[in-house]
Amino acid sequence: MMTPAFPLTSGAFYKRAQKLTLWLIAAAHLLALLSLLLILGFLSPANAETPACRGENLLEELKVENPASYARVIAEGDRVLNGRNIFWKIEKAGLAPSYLLGTMHVTDPRVLKMPPGAQEAQSQARTIVVESDEVLDERKSMAALLMKPELTMFTDGRSLDSLLSKEDLQILQEGLKSRGINYSAVSRMKPWMLMGIVALPACELARKGQKNVFLDKKIALEAESHGKLVKGLETLEEQVNAINALPMDLHVKSIVEAIKLGRKMDDLFYTMTDLYLAQQIGVLTPLMKAVAPDGTEDEAGYAEFENLIITKRNHLMAGRAAPILAEGAAFIAVGAAHLPGEEGLVELLRKQGFAVTAVN
């Protein structure tokens, strides 16, 4: 799979990477599902061969190139409330303990392994909870979603042609072509529908094409196979509505910038995975802001994204998790981005009267 070459200065790369990281952190569940649909629908078997996953760790690069900035990023990450763990124990008097696992919605075998103790907690739980239980049958859930075309397609006469400049349209067309997709077949899709193809590394797309499952689905399938109750905290439609609420300008810019980054996207994805495995989820946003040319780049846009895609969903998930946790012995697995911060799930569950402590 070839990627068009777009020469980038280091500063230009990081400026673009900052915004794209938001998509990969917060919308990865939908990207995982929708990229599978597009892979099955558009990519040929030849493109499904698994290339080696590669990339450079941006945090390690920063450590070498700018030690002072690196130290500030680590210090800021350390100040993020609940930002140094992905696995938590949830307790309340009279209830069997429950657990909360922050996931990364990818098929990487290292991620699928889960941190120590998580597999045992999952096995002992009576109820398994994921973001959306619709991952158990992706084709059925996608079919239901596509029954409401306004969620995924332009139904008002618009197309990507009308939203992009001539130059950006050409970039998009060439980028899709290099991934085996005919632009005319997807020109009326909303931009975020294509982000799963242009934003995820070739190795991850290939693994999905070979029907490997991402962590959340693996957890749900294992529970179902053992006859356990599987519940979702959101519906796929609710997740789509949250993304559709973002400004269209952000959608179209993000997809073009993802293509412009080319193989540099592998570095971004590689870094995210390394930070997740190191349970340093609080570091990611400070890192992206630090390496951008202007550390305050698009603060308003970031705040809007965080409110719609992270904070509002955190409160929704915490509210729906409450009655499940009140029964005890639950194992909850949601994207790791939903755990840290003053309005993250860990803190919101504490406000409901639960004792939430890091396992590792």
CB 104 within 8 A of CB 28: yes
Each domain of the chain, given as residue ranges in start order, spans 10-358
Q: Which tokens is 177 given?
A: 């072509």
Nearest-angstrom CA–CA distance, 149 and 200: 24
Task: State residue 218's pLDDT score.
Answer: 94
Exposed, middle or buried, 323 (CB in 10 Å: 0-12/13-18/19+)? Answer: exposed
CA 250 and chain centroid, separation = 16
Q: Which tokens is 180 given?
A: 């085996």
Task: State residue 60's pLDDT score.
Answer: 93
Task: State residue 295's pLDDT score.
Answer: 41
CB neighbourhood size of 322 (10 A): 14
The arrangement of strands across the sheet holding 87-91 comes to 229-232, 127-130, 330-335, 98-103, 87-91, 355-358
83-105 b/e with 16+ CB inside 10 Å = b? bbbbbbbbebeeeebbbbbbbbb
Please name the residue that has the structure tokens 């305050």.
Answer: 296
Local structure of 152: helix, strand or coil:
coil
Residues of the chain with pLDDT under 70: 1-51, 209-211, 291-302
- Provide the residue type at 78 as one letter: D
CA 85 and chain centroid, separation = 17
CB 88 within 8 A of CB 321: no
DSSP letter assigned to residue 129: E
Rg of the chain in Å (alpha carbons): 20
CB 324 within 8 A of CB 127: yes
Nearest-angstrom CA–CA distance, 52 and 120: 31
Task: State residue 116's pLDDT score.
Answer: 95
CB 78 within 8 A of CB 245: no
Residue range 229-260, pLDDT digits in tens: 999 999 988 988 888 888 888 888 888 888 88
Task: State residue 290's pLDDT score.
Answer: 74
CB 239 within 8 A of CB 136: no
What's the pTM? 0.87
Task: State residue 46's pLDDT score.
Answer: 43
Task: State residue 17's pLDDT score.
Answer: 52
Q: Which tokens is 178 given?
A: 């290099």
